[in-house]
Amino acid sequence: MNLPPLRDPHLNYRYRRRLHVVRVLLALSVTFAIISLFELPHSGWALVSTVMVMGNLPHVGGVLDKGRQRLLGSLLGAGWGLLLILVPLSPTLVIPLGALIGIGAATWLTFGSRHGYSGLMFAISLLLVIGAGNQELDVALWRAFDVLLGTLVGIAVTALVLPQKATDMMRFLLADNLERLARLYQAHTESTHAPDVDTQRLLKAASKLLVKQRNLVDAIHRERRLRRDELDELISLQRRMLSTIELLLETHWTTRAGHERIAAMVGLREEQFRLASELDTLAYQVRTGQPIDVAISPFDLQRHAELACNARSEDGRVLFSPSGYLWLNRELARLAQALVSQLGSLERLPSRRLRRASGRSRFIADRTEPVQGEQENERQP
């Protein structure tokens, strides 16, 4: 049974930028409807708060943490502002000085910590409540209420309307990266004397995907499906695979004589194509939430040992590039097997929801060529 289109995680990932725009507009519409229906005073602050809190809540894991920080910072900031207004002294000095003391304390306590966003929301909410420093109590109360209303609407819409799960995004980024690594590995055996522009683009894209995965670690950890150490290991293995492929690109063409020796190794090209195909299969299993059961075939280097060890140039110098090239191929296969083992050990990685959604094959595009809008999605967090 397939999921309805709007619940399809593949669709949500592919069109994540558009869906985020829809959520922002929907949250603003809900806020505007509430303030119009109840004719709330100073209601503009509710709209401002809604836009402000929607900017950096793309994932459920981020919502759970940032939402708590925003609410905590907003409540404390609004409460401190109300307390300053209620002080029975001249507001000319008490309110500005009290605001500076509060903001300074919040900045000091949250500096360099993961709660820095609470400090920011504390300062913003406090300044919204006290205004120019001479507000009446009813004005401060309404501003505090409007700030909290806008914050709650933004959090609710982000968490409930087509939410983006960081764990799903990690799966898709991992699958995208494995497909790029497979394309790079297969392409390097067919390239010219130096990596072409397309190869350089793929290398850069793979590096960007690793950065994006790293940025998701905290959000995924808060979704309680994968631990930080498990995610760190997955990213580390991908980085080492990418570095190995970069070395393969260089070693393949170190010298013309070395390249000819490599090209003469019977059966090596077939082993390389098989490994590239296995990486593609692994990417598909990750993308669709299947159990990870890919068998990575080890490289048989022994049959190429004579060609590699006895390689010499025309002037009699020993050529080390063929031996290094063989070792790098074996190392890439070993890293791929380690990645398969790591993924297979993650009991919560397979997803029945993704398997059901994978029946909607039009959203699992053939990634041999970049899908429409891929370059736009490269810029997304």
Residue 372, pLDDT above cutoff 50: no
Better pLDDT: 123 or 257:
123
The last residue of a domain, from among 139, 160, 181: 160
Per-state percent for the chain, helix, strand, coil, to nearest 5: 70, 0, 25
Q: How far does CA 207 lie from the centroid of its chain?
A: 12
In a domain, 68, yes or no: yes
**Measured between alpha carbons, how far is 258 from 78 in angstroms, rounded to an integer?**
71
Same-domain pairing of 156 and 187? no
pLDDT in tens, 80-104: 988 888 877 656 778 888 999 999 9
Burial (0-12, 13-18, 19+ Cβ within 10 Å), 288: buried
In a domain, 183, yes or no: yes
Same-domain pairing of 171 and 124? no
- Give the pLDDT score at 89: 64
| Residue 158 · residue 54 · CB < 8 Å | yes
Residue 234, domain CATH:
1.20.58
Residue 362, pLDDT above cutoff 60: no
Burial (0-12, 13-18, 19+ Cβ within 10 Å), 311: buried
Q: What are phi and psi of 314, to 5 degrees?
A: -65, -30
Same-domain pairing of 207 and 317? yes
Residue 11, pLDDT above cutoff 90: no
The last residue of a domain, from among 123, 139, 160: 160
Same-domain pairing of 64 and 21? yes
Same-domain pairing of 138 and 222? no
* Residue labelled with tokens 């350089």: 200
Percent of the chain whose predicted confidence (pLDDT) is above 90:
29
Which structural domain, as residue segments, surrounds residue 121? Answer: 5-160
Q: What are phi and psi of 2, to 5 degrees?
A: -85, 150
pLDDT in tens, 295-334: 998 887 777 776 766 666 656 565 667 777 888 999 999 9
Same-domain pairing of 109 and 223? no
Same-domain pairing of 218 and 155? no
In a domain, 360, yes or no: no
* Residue labelled with tokens 């063409």: 253
Same-domain pairing of 273 and 152? no
Same-domain pairing of 200 and 94? no
In this prediction, residue 233 has a pLDDT band, given cuts at 50, 70 and 90, of very high
Same-domain pairing of 67 and 170? no
Locate 206 and state its tokens. Answer: 């793979």
In this prediction, residue 369 has a pLDDT band, given cuts at 50, 70 and 90, of very low
The last residue of a domain, from among 160, 180, 201: 160
Q: Considering its fold, how many domains does the chain have in total?
A: 2
| Least confidently predicted of 199-203, 247-251, 283-287 | 247-251
Same-domain pairing of 171 and 150? no
Same-domain pairing of 156 and 213? no
- Among 126-140, 158-172, 282-296, the range of highest mean pLDDT: 282-296
Q: How far does CA 122 lie from the centroid of its chain?
A: 28
| Residue 73 · residue 127 · CB < 8 Å | no
In a domain, 366, yes or no: no
Q: Model-level pTM?
A: 0.75
